[in-house]
Amino acid sequence: MQTIGIIKFVQVQQDSLKQHLPDGTRQYNPDPLLKLKRIQLTADGVVGLTETNDEIIDVHNTRHPNSRYRGDNPISIGFMSHYDKMRVEFGDHLEDGIAGESIIVETAHLFTPETFGTSLAIKCEANDELIHLKEVIPIPPCEPFSRFARDRDLSPQETKATLQFLNRGTRGFYAKLRDETLSPVIQSGDYLVRIDD
């Protein structure tokens, strides 16, 4: 088992970050993001937990009234090192977590699909419980976030170049629970680890 990094914070998307404008275009808006101390991972998607244990359903959860669940995206993971890389390319307005991943991991390393090994897990700091993940895939970048990253309208060539830069995991990764009967709670201070079968 190898530690990839420590979970710096967790968050939920209370609604879609891609908003439809009257002219038919879509605009990226990070306002629905909400940082929390704890989130619950379920087969349906992420559930945020407030200090009083109220639930806030993430927009990628099947239970959300405006669900953006597609089958492959119930859990998302981003890396502070990847945000450092994006800030060098795009600017300081890209704060850690602004792309909307549920779990933000502090690490100095950059990751591609090939560097993760065969299995990822979250190791809970409080009790050493291992929460195994499966089907880890890169998050496909989208055109609205590309414009937000560049902070301006883009030509088709610039859009293509930006999407290519954000591809292959720079934008983060999706994952699912390996045991979908579980509903574990994770928080900042837990660890993302790699387990080679």
| pLDDT single digits (tens) 131-178 | 999 999 999 999 999 999 998 888 999 999 999 999 999 999 999 999
Residue 60 has pLDDT above 90, yes or no: yes
The predicted structure's pLDDT at residue 37:
95
The predicted structure's pLDDT at residue 100:
97
The predicted structure's pLDDT at residue 88:
97
Residue 117 has pLDDT above 90, yes or no: no
Cβ density class 50-69: b for 16+ within 10 Å, e for less: eeeeeebbbbbbeebeebbb
- pLDDT bin (cut points 50, 70, 90) of residue 56 is very high
Give the ranges where the chain is alpha helix by DSSP (H). 80-90, 143-150, 156-166
Residue 78 has pLDDT above 80, yes or no: yes
The predicted structure's pLDDT at residue 197:
61
Domain boundaries, the chain: 2-194
What average pLDDT does range 107-131 have in this prediction?
90
Superfamily of domain 2-194, CATH level 4: PK beta-barrel domain-like (2.40.33.20)
What average pLDDT does range 31-54 have in this prediction?
96
Helix (H, G, I), strand (E, B) or coil at 102: coil
- By the 8 A CB rule, do 4 and 109 touch? yes
Residue 116 has pLDDT above 80, yes or no: no
Lowest mean pLDDT among 46-60, 85-99, 147-161: 147-161
- Residue entry with tokens 């591809």: 167
